Amino acid sequence: MSKFFYFQLAWSNIKKNKKMYFPYILTCTVTVAMYYLIHSLAGNEGFGSGTVRAVLGLAVNITAIFAVIFLFYTNSFLMKRRKKEFGLYNILGMEKKHLGRVVFWETADVAAISLAAGFVLGILLDRLMFLAILRLIGEEIPVDFRISVDPVLSVLCLFGIIFLLIFLNSIRQIHLSKPIELLRGGNVGEKEPKAKWLVALLGLGCLALGYYISVTTTNPVAALSLFFVAVVLVILGTYLTFMAGSIAFLKILRKNKGYYYQARHFTSISGMIYRMKQNACGLANVCILSTMTLVMVAATLSMWMGMNGIIRERFPREICASSNRPEDGQTAELRAWMDGLLQQEEVVPENLVSYSSLSFSVLEQGGEFLSGGGSGENLLSQVNQLRNLFFVSLEDYNRINGTDETLEDGEVLFYSNGEEYPNAQFQVFGSTFRIKKQLKEFEGNNLAASDIASSYFVVVKDLQAVSGLFRASKDGQETQVYYNDYYAFDMGGEEQQASALYGKLQKAWTEAGLSGNVGCRYDSRQNFIEMYGSLFFIGVFLGALFIMATILIIYYKQISEGYEDKERFEIMQKVGMDQAETKRSIRSQILTVFFLPLIMAGIHMAFAFPSVSRVLALLNMVNVPLFLGCNVVCYLVFAVFYVAVYGVTAKMYYRIIKDK
C-alpha cells in the first residue's frame, strides 16, 4: 500500500463531496481572513487614538469565539453526511484507525487550503480596511504598508487549535460508533418526537419575560444592565420555542384534516415532524444570528448617520462649560469667572447662554417626587423612577430666551428632555406646584444630554426661596442640593481659534479647581468620529460574519434535507405523485419553516427596539426616528437578501430530489 494512500483517498473524498466541502472550505477561508484582518487592525498603531484600537480589540475576541463555535457547528453537518460513507468503509474492511488517518488528512487539507487562502485574502483586505477606517474617522492616510508578525502567529495558534479539536471530535464520533450506526448516521432523528407542551410554554414564557423587560425598562442604565438578561431570556426562549413549539405547531396542523390531507401538505408536514428535533436548532441559530446582525448594523448605522446631530445636541455652542457647587456662594459663579477670563483673552462671545440652576435626584411616583432618603440601594432598586430635577429662576429664563414670562406663587414652567409630562401639577416633598406651561424646548438643556435618568427643567419665580424647601425630605433626612452654573457661547471665527481658547480654558479650569467640565465642539468632534466610526465598522464587520454564518447554516440545512428527502420523494412518485405535486410539496415544506426565522427576527427586533434605543441614549444617540428608520431599512434589505438565498437553496434542494 502506498504511503500516500490515505492522503490520496482523503483528497479524492473532498473532490467527490465538493458540494459539502467547498462551502465549508470557503467559510474557513473567510473566517481566517476576517480574524487576521481584525487582529491586524487592532494592533495597527497608525490609528493614533486608543479609542479605535480598543473597540477593534473587543471585536478580536468576539471573532475568535465566533470562529470556534461556528466552525465546530458547520463541521457537524459534514460529519453527519460522511458517517454513512465511513460506515461503508468500515464494513468493507477498513479499521477505525485507518478511518482516523483519512479524517486526519481531510482535516489537514482543509486547514492548509483555508489558512493559505485566508492569509492571502486577509493581507489584501488589511490595507483596504485600514484605509477605509482612516477615511471613516478622518485621519491622514500613510503611504507605508507592512505585514505584522503578531496577527500571523495568532491566526496559526487559534485555527491550529480549532482544526485539532475538530479532528479529535471527529475521531471521537467514529470510535464511539458501531458500523451499523455509522451507516444510519444520516437518518438519525427519524423517530417522531413528542410534543412537549410544557417546554413550549416555558419557551414562550422566556420570550414574554424578555420582551417585558425590554419594553418596560425606561432608565438607560437599567436598560443597559437588564438588556443582557433580556437577551439571554430571548435566546433561551427562541431555542425552546423552535425545538418544542414548532413540533407542537406541526402536530396542530396535522390534526387539521382539511389542511393536512392535501398532497403538498401531507408529505411536507409528515417529513418535517420527524426531523424537527434536529431542524429546530438550525432554525433557531438562523433566527438569533439574523436578529444580532440586524440590531447591530441598525444601531451602529444610526449612530454614524446621526453623529452630527449628536454633537450638536451635546454642544449647541462652540464652547460649553458647566460647573457644580454643593452650597450657594462657596465658590464664585461660573458666569463671573468666564466673563473675566474672556475679557482677559480679549474674546467677545456670540450667542451667549448662561444661567444657574438648582438640581437634585428624586424618585417619581405618579405626580409626586420623593427623596431617595440617601440610600443608594433604594435608588438602584427603583432605577426606572429616578429623575433629575433642574430648577431655574424666571429671571434667567427670560434673559436667555428674550421672553417676558410671568409666574404667580406656586406656578412653574416645565420642560422634559424625554416624553411630555402628563400631569397639570406635581408635588415635591409635599409641596404642590402648578404647571402654567409645558415648554417645547429649553436653551442649554444639553446639561442633561448625557444624564442616565430622565431630566426635568422647572422654571420657578424665585430660586432661593425654592432651595430651602429641598433641604429636608418627608422622612426628615437631608437631601443633597447642588447649584449648577452653565455657560456656552460661539466665537464666530475659525475652528483653530476656538480650539486654542479651549486649551487655555482647560488649563485655567484646572488651576482654579472648578468641578464640572468644559468642552469644545470642534475638539470633541474627532473623539465622536473615532468612536462612532469604529463602532460602525465593527457593526458592519460582525454583521458580515453573522450573515456568512446564516447563509452557510441555510445552505447545509437545505442540502442535508435534500439528501434525506430524496428517497422519500422517490417512493411518493412511484405511488402516484407527479413532478408538479412534488414541486408544490417541496415549496410548502420549505416555506413552512424557512421564513419562520425571518419573521421571529422581526418580532425580536420590534421588542428589542425600546431597550436598545435607551442604551443608545447613554451614547448621546437620542434621535429615535432615525434609529427606527435604520431598523426598518435594515430589515427590508435583509429580507430581500434572505429571499434571494431561499431561491438559490430551494433550487439546489429540488435538483437533489430530482437527480436519479
| Block residue for cell numbers 450657594 | 328
Mean local confidence (pLDDT), 356-383: 63
Kindly give, in sequence order, each residue whose CB lies less than 8 Å from that of residue 242, ignoring residues fewer than 6 positions away. Answer: 203, 280, 281, 283, 284, 287, 596
At 223-241, the pLDDT tens digits run 666 788 888 899 888 888 8
Contact 49, 42 (CB under 8 A): no
Name the more confident of 62 and 636: 636
The dihedral over CA atoms of 406, 315, 300, 62, expressed in degrees to the nearest 10, equals: -120
- How much is the pLDDT for 376? 43
pLDDT at 32 over 70: yes
Mean local confidence (pLDDT), 251-275: 64
Report CA 548 to chain centroid distance, whole Å: 17
The angle at the Cα of 627, spanning 622 to 631, to the nearest 5 degrees, equals 160
Q: Which range (123-137, 334-348, 351-365, 386-400) has the least confidence?
A: 123-137
97: left (phi over 0), alpha (psi -120 to 50) or beta: alpha
At 525-544, the pLDDT tens digits run 777 777 777 778 778 877 88
Nearest by Cα to 106 from 17, 233, 222, 227: 17
Name the more confident of 141 and 610: 610
Q: State how far the Cα of 337 lies from the Cα of 314, in Å rounded to an integer.
A: 22
pLDDT at 343 over 50: yes
SS3 258: helix
pLDDT at 478 over 60: no
- How much is the pLDDT for 374? 42
Q: How far is CA 235 from CA 128, 202, 289, 485, in A?
A: 35, 13, 10, 46
At 188-227, the pLDDT tens digits run 444 555 657 788 788 889 999 999 988 887 766 666 667 8
- How much is the pLDDT for 207? 92
- How much is the pLDDT for 645? 82
Q: How many CB atoms lie within 10 A of CB 388?
A: 18
At 404-447, the pLDDT tens digits run 888 888 888 988 876 677 888 888 777 788 888 888 877 766 65
Instruction: Please give, one letter per residue, the 3-state secondary structure of 502-530.
Output: HHHHHHHHHHHCCCEEEEEHHHHHHHHHH
* Residue 354 main-chain phi, psi, to 5 deg: -145, 140
Mean local confidence (pLDDT), 550-564: 73
- Per DSSP, the chain holds a count of helices (H) and strands (E) of 21, 10
Give the length of the chain: 660
| Block residue for cell numbers 459539502 | 20
Report CA 628 to chain centroid distance, whole Å: 14
- How much is the pLDDT for 189? 46
Q: State how far the Cα of 593 lies from the Cα of 615, in Å rounded to an integer.
A: 33
Mean local confidence (pLDDT), 455-483: 66
Q: State how far the Cα of 336 lies from the Cα of 357, in Å rounded to an integer.
A: 15
SS3 153: helix
- How much is the pLDDT for 650? 76
- How much is the pLDDT for 92? 64
Mean local confidence (pLDDT), 54-83: 78
% of the chain at pLDDT higher than 70: 70
Q: State how far the Cα of 352 lies from the Cα of 574, in Å rounded to an integer.
A: 87
The neighbouring-strand residues paired with 322 are 486, 517
Q: How many CB atoms lie within 10 A of CB 275?
A: 19
SS3 628: helix
The neighbouring-strand residues paired with 370 are 363
Q: State how far the Cα of 531 lies from the Cα of 423, in Å rounded to an integer.
A: 39
